[in-house]
Amino acid sequence: EGISIYPNPTNSILNIKNAENSSIEVFNILGQTIITKTNIAVEEQLNVASFPQGTYLVKITNGSIVKTEKFIVSK
């Protein structure tokens, strides 16, 4: 699919690499939406330094492809 997130776990920047322009949504473990971005770059960086330590989900939508990945914010 050509979609990846790194580093995982992270404490500051989460890199998202995808095949082409996509949209992303970041959720906390309770399912609350934290970030929504559309038309992101092929290589996007999210600053998660202000996020509390814990587990989060990022949903990447690229046309008809939807991929959800878990990432951890560690301090």
Tens-place pLDDT, residues 19-75: 677 899 999 999 999 999 999 888 999 999 999 999 999 999 988 889 999 999 998
pLDDT band at 1 (very low <50, low <70, confident <90, very high): low
Report the C-alpha gap between 38 and 46 in whole angstroms: 13
Please give the backbone phi and psi of residue 39, each rounded to the nearest 5 degrees, phi first. Answer: 50, 50
Q: Please tell me the predicted confidence (pLDDT) of residue 22.
A: 86
Q: How do residues 37-50 score in pLDDT, each as one tens digit? A: 999 888 999 999 99
Residue identified by tokens 């992101």 is: 40
